[in-house]
Amino acid sequence: MTDYYEILGISRDAGEAEIKKAYRKMARQYHPDINGHSKEAEAKFKEVAEAYEVLSDPQKRQMYDTYGHTGRGGGGQGQGFGGFGGFGQGAGFEDIFDVLFEGFGGRSRQRPTAEAGADLLTKVKITFAESAFGVEKEVETLRPVPCEDCGGSGASEGSKPTACSVCGGHGVVNQTQSTIFGSFARTAPCSNCEGTGKVITSPCKSCSGEGRKSKREMVKLKVPAGIIDGMRLQLSGFGGAGRRGGPSGDLYVDISVTADKLFKRVENDVVVTLPISYSHAALGGELTVPTLDGEERVSIPVGTQTGTAFRIKGKGFRYLDRRGRGDQIVETVVETPVNISEEQKRLLFELAEVSGETGDDNVGIFKKIKEALGR
């Protein structure tokens, strides 16, 4: 026979608490009801119980440590340890009972506690600017709230809930549970009163005895600066009302940020495209740039090309997790002049001639291509 200490997976000097802990863990693991009454599990369960019966009893443990499984001693009667049949004596019947019914609510299951209200979910749209600087919105909700007419009791005026006749007002009823050891009584919530212990004989007409009714309300929502499209905010206690004195649920709000025609967000930076004229790109100068905070003047260097980016510090989105703001990125696009006047044409031709390019045969352009190809 396998050593009892090996069966429970403990050392020979294990204390009482360690023995009990190991037993309860393995008894739950191999309980026949959990393992579909498997023969292997049942045999292992009996083995675990027998080991615990011996090792949890100081006298039996001492005899086992001295004589092994023969159990000689106590007058040399050679009676052994009685195997699995020792339950209810030195084996700790209450411990076995606890393990059996731990999955069924235990021996002293209390009536169900108060029931929390349901969580609610809604959506709110905000503008790009509102996401940058934050905003306070009013959110319309339709949620269960305590009935004002009955104060949440569910009973009509002048009446009150009475004790349930099925459970006697306890909220629980006794049921019989069959196991390999026979039938045992356990408690379960009373279905007649839903575990409340009370029934309503004269329900409130306003809420039909529910104690709650739906109500439309406007809830104030503070949207923080820097919020990102798709984020979810939580308003604690603004969900559905609870039952039997339970707390209200929460209201969750999904934020949707509308796109802006001018600005684009990249992480905490703001990107804006700035069209500049051919002359500004060539000669440089100062230009006015729109930002989230208003207009800013930026210097455009001589020879600016399409795609050149400028950074304006601290003009982006606020950080949600720390102080400070991102930057604004200004990306330039050089515009080719269209619908030019005769005077403008003349000046451009002169520029082309000075640059070694002509407007009619693109000699200068082809020359640059050949140079790039090494020809």
Exposed, middle or buried: residue 134 (CB in 10 Å: 0-12, 13-18, 19+)?
Answer: middle
pLDDT 10s digits, 165-205: 888 888 788 776 665 555 666 677 787 777 777 888 888 88
List the domains of the chain with CATH numbers: 4-104 (1.10.287.110), 116-149+211-258 (2.60.260.20), 263-334 (2.60.260.20), 342-373 (no CATH)
- Rounded-to-integer distance, Cα 62 and Cα 54, Å: 9
What does the pLDDT read at residue 36? 65
Going from the C-alpha of 254 to that of each of 108, 150, 185, 251, 295, the distances in angstroms are 43, 34, 49, 10, 32
Rounded to an integer, the average pLDDT of 222-233 is: 91
Percentage of the chain exceeding pLDDT 90 = 15
pTM: 0.53
Does position 67 have pLDDT exceeding 60, yes or no?
A: yes
Give the amino acid at 84: F
- Rounded-to-integer distance, Cα 51 and Cα 65, Å: 12
Say which range, 49-53, 238-242, 325-329, has the weakest mean pLDDT. Answer: 238-242
Give the amino acid at 184: F
Q: In a 3-state reduction of DSSP, which class is residue 188?
A: strand
Going from the C-alpha of 335 to that of each of 304, 305, 309, 338, the distances in angstroms are 12, 10, 16, 9
- Rounded-to-integer distance, Cα 38 and Cα 121, Å: 46
Comparing CA positions, the residue from 224, 239, 251, 240 lying closest to residue 123 is 251
pLDDT 10s digits, 100-150: 544 444 444 444 456 778 888 999 999 999 999 999 999 888 888 888 778
